[in-house]
Amino acid sequence: MNFELKTLSLATAATTKTDTLIVLISNQFKPGKDSLSALIAKAIGAKDLSTKAGQSLQAYALPGVSASKVLFLGIGDGQPSDVKAAMGSATATLKAAKVAKTVVVFAEPVQPQSLKAAMLALADGTYVYSATKSKPVPRVLAQVQLAVAQPTAELKAAFAACTAMIHGIEFAKEWANRPANHATPTHLGKAAQALAKSAGMSCEVLGPKEVAKLGMGSFMSVAQGSSEPLRFIVLKYQGASKADAPIVLVGKGITFDTGGISIKPAPEMDEMKFDMGGAASVLGVFKSLSVLQPAVNVMGLIPACENMPDGLAVKPGDVVTSMSGQTIEILNTDAEGRLILCDALTYAERFKPRAVIDIATLTGACVIALGAIRSGMFASDDALANGLHLAGQDAMDLCWRMPLDEDYADALKSNFADVANVGGRAGGAITAAKFLQRFTQKYPWAHLDIAGTAWKGGAAKGATGRPVALLLQYLISQAAPTKAKARSKASAK
C-alpha cells in the first residue's frame, strides 16, 4: 500500500480522480462555500448523517465529484481514538467494494495523532496474509492519498513516522503469522540478514558452536530438544555517532513452543507459532528504521529456537548455567522464554547501552492481568518507564507499568541452584520479570510482556504487529532531531 500526503481542500479533493472519496467529519465541522460542504451540512441537518464516530453515509455519482463513490464518515470529536474506530469500520466497506485507490480528506484541520490514527486503521483493516497460500489473494487497496488543507511540519513528521511504523508492523505480522515450518530460527536469521542490506545496518547470525563458546547454557538448554538448530541474531542500526550508546532491543524468538517435557494441552497449540512475537517485533522495528532512518543507535538481539520434547530435551529439575554464571533450576520447561532471554540480556552488557528493552510473549498471567488492550511493562528505571508509557500513548500501542517489588523474588528461591525459573501461579507475570531482572543490573532495563497483545485468536486469528509502533515511537523520542532523516512518502506492502 502506498500512502501520500497531499495538500487538498475539501473542494479540490472533490475534483481528484479516485475510486472512493472518504470525507472525515467531526463535531466541529463548519461548512464552507463549496458544494461538498453544502451537501454535508444538508445531510447533517436532515439527520441522514451523524458525526458520531463510525456513523456513515454513502453516495454515488455526485455532481461535481470526480470519485464515483463518496463515503461520508463521522469521527466524533476528531480525537485519535474516534478516528481510529471510524476508519476501522470503513475498511470493511472498502474491502467489500474492492477499492484500489482512495482519497481520505479531513473536512477540518487535523492533528498529527489523528492523521496517524487514520493511517494505522486503514493499514490494519486491509492487511492480507498470503505467504503460504497456493492461490494468494493480494490486498486490493493499493494507494491512499491523505488530503489536508495545511500540511504543517508536525503533520509531515507524523506522516513519515507512521509510514515507517506501518512498514514495520506489517513486516512483524508477516513473520509472526508464518507457520513454524516456514519461520524456523534459520529463516529468521536470513530475514535479519536481508534487512541488514539497508543503509546503516549490519547483521551477525551465530549458530550453536558460537553460542556454546559464549557460555549461553540457559539458551542452549531450551534448544537441545529440537532438531532445528538455534540461532542468535545480532542486528545493528547506526543512525547516530559511534560515540552514542545504543538502545538494545531483545526479542524472544521461540519459533514454536510445545512446552517441552512440561507439554502444553493440544487445543490451540497451533497458536504457539506466535511465541516469537517478540522477535518479530524486533525485526519489524528494524524494518521501520530502514525507512525512517532516525538519528539513534539501536541493537537488536534475537535468541531463536524451538522448544520441543524429544529424548534430548531438558527435564524438570535440571540445573543449567547461564552466560552470567548464575545457575538455574528448571522446574517447568514451559517457562522457557525467560531462559533464552536471560543469556541475551547478559550479552547486551557488552554494548554499554543507554537502555535495554526486552519484548516477549512471556506469561499467560499477563493476559489474565491486562487482557489484550495493554502490554505489561516492567522497568528498573523510572525515566525509561515513563518514556515507554508516553510512546505507547502517542503510537496508540498502549502499555501499563507493573510492580517489581523485591519481595516477589522470594518465590524464585531454589534449594539446588541460584534461582528457579518459575515461582508458582501467584503473580506469575511479576515473578517472570523478577527472574529477568537478575540479569540486568548493569543498565536501565524494561520488559514488555506482550502475551495478550501480540496476536488475536478465533475468527480474527493473526498477529497484531504490536508493539512495533510503541518501540519505534520511543526510539524517535530518543533520536537527535537535528540529524533525523525521514521520508515524507513511502509505500507499505
Q: Which of 178, 338, 434, 438 is catalytic?
A: 338
CB atoms within 10 A of CB 198: 15
CB 357 within 8 A of CB 448: yes
Round to whole Å and give the CA distance between 168 and 23: 27
Alpha-carbon distance values, 402 to 100, 379, 399, 406, 448 (Å): 43, 8, 10, 13, 10
Distances (CA, A) of 287 to 160, 176, 246: 14, 14, 17
Rounded to whole angstroms, how far apart are CA atoms 186 and 205? Answer: 9
Closest by CA to 340, choosing from 322, 327, 356, is 322
Question: Rounded to an integer, what distance in angstroms lies between the CA atom of residue 273 and that of residue 305?
Answer: 12
Active site residue 242: no
Q: Which of 389, 388, 332 is nearest to 363 (CA)?
A: 332
338 assigned to active site: yes
Contacts of 243 (CB under 8 A, 6+ apart): none
**Given strand 143-148, what is the order of strands in its sheet?**
56-60, 69-74, 20-25, 101-106, 143-148, 2-7, 490-491
| E strand residue ranges, 20-120 | 20-25, 56-60, 69-74, 101-106
> Which grid cell sits at 30?
463548519
C-alpha cell at 426: 501467584
Q: What is the DSSP letter of 218?
A: H
Residue 426, classified by CB atoms within 10 Å of its CB into exposed (0-12), middle (13-18) or buried (19+), is exposed
- Round to whole Å and give the CA distance between 222 and 334: 9
CA–CA gap between residue 377 and residue 400 (Å, rounded): 5
Q: Which of 95, 190, 264, 354 is catalytic?
A: 264
End-to-end, the C-alpha distance of the chain in Å comes to 5
Q: Which is nearest to 329 in space by CA: 402, 465, 435, 428? A: 435
H-assigned helices in 405-462: 428-437
Q: Hey, which residues are catalytic here?
A: 264, 338
